[in-house]
DNA sequence: AAAATAGTTTCCATATATTGAAACTTTTTA
DNA sequence: TAAAAAGTTTCAATATATGGAAACTATTTT
């Protein structure tokens, strides 16, 4: 099993944001990772913990039972984008998505 | 504050397959965007175009009909993570996911 | 303009994601 | 250590994502 690797990093963009905002008061966390089903749940859990919420509280914010949150965090199954967005929106976390590709890497079979 | 920048090393295979440009100048495209259902399809389409594939060809790579690809690109519905990963994997594109949050922004209702 | 290719839509079946309720287990607190 | 709180699992219902087939429209090519 893979352990949760929580990588905190500060990007240039964040530095800019920080300077634009109130000096030194805005702490911004960014978690970035290769998208895999197995990691998503861990991310939900991480952010929820950071917000000091119980599964039940998060569930209330979204409008679902705590069991639902548990399932999501435990990666018991596939998830739809909509569900992911609902959760992170409730956690007031900004979700970004990026796609990287090397030019010319591709060959049609 | 440390930035962990891990630009992927280029493999020899990638260099070999590179058909234009000089050695060592493989361009890497990165599309980053706030995750929204409406945008995902556009991204699939963009990357597919960049790979010079038709919907039918992409479908073959994944093992689905072209109509399926059309539906995905046209954002006709919600999508699961699994499907997203399947598509971008076939396109040899690296999918990243990031979550940003401001500390202390959160208030429990 | 006709043919060929590419993309879209509809109809429909099947698989599975979402969800609640309740019982259960684990962790925390008094 | 007993009670309370937090988290997990199971059972079951419903909604909906995935997918193929075929007819359709749009675009490109000859």
For chain A, what are the domain ranges? 13-91
CA of A54 to C1' of C27 (A): 13
Mutate to test the interface with B, among A28, A35, A101 (most CBs of B within 10 A): A101
B15 confidence band (pLDDT: 50, 70, 90): very low
Q: Average pLDDT for residues A1-9, to the nearest whole number?
A: 31
Q: From residue B7, how far is each of A1, A24, A101, B27, B46 by CA, in Å?
A: 26, 29, 12, 12, 22
Q: Beta-carbon neighbour count of residue A32 at 10 Å?
A: 16
DSSP code of residue A95 = E
Nearest CA-CA partner of B77 in B41, B44, B33: B41
So what's the pLDDT on residue B104?
65
B27 confidence band (pLDDT: 50, 70, 90): low
Structure tokens that stand for A98 in this block: 């990026």
Structure tokens that stand for A26 in this block: 């805005």
pLDDT > 70: percent of chain B: 69
Highest mean pLDDT of the ranges A8-22, B7-21, B41-55: B41-55
CB contact under 8 A, A100 and B3: no
pLDDT surpassing 70 at residue B17:
no
B3 confidence band (pLDDT: 50, 70, 90): very low
pLDDT surpassing 60 at residue A3:
no
Give the CATH class of A13-91.
mainly alpha
Handedness of CA B63, B68, B70, B74 (dihedral sign): negative
**What's the distance, CA B40 to chain centroid?**
9
**What's the distance, CA B92 to chain centroid?**
8
Structure tokens that stand for B89 in this block: 């994997």
Q: Beta-carbon neighbour count of residue A55 at 10 Å?
A: 20
For residue A93, the chain B residues in CB contact (below 8 A) are 99-101
Q: Average pLDDT for residues B22-29, to the nearest whole number?
A: 51
Mutate to test the interface with A, among B25, B102, B109 (most CBs of A within 10 A): B102
pLDDT surpassing 80 at residue A90:
yes
pLDDT > 70: percent of chain A: 70
């Amino acid at each position: 099993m893979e352990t949760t690797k929580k990588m905190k990093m500060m990007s240039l963009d964040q530095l800019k944001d920080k300077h634009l905002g109130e000096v030194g008061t805005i702490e911004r966390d960014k978690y970035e990772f290769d998208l895999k089903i197995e990691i998503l749940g861990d991310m939900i859990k991480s952010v929820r913990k950071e917000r000091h919420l119980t599964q039940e509280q998060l569930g209330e914010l979204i409008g679902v039972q705590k069991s639902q949150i548990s399932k999501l965090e435990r990666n018991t199954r596939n998830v739809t984008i909509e569900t992911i967005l609902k959760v992170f929106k409730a956690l007031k976390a900004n979700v970004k998505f990026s796609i990287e590709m090397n030019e010319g890497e591709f060959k049609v079979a």
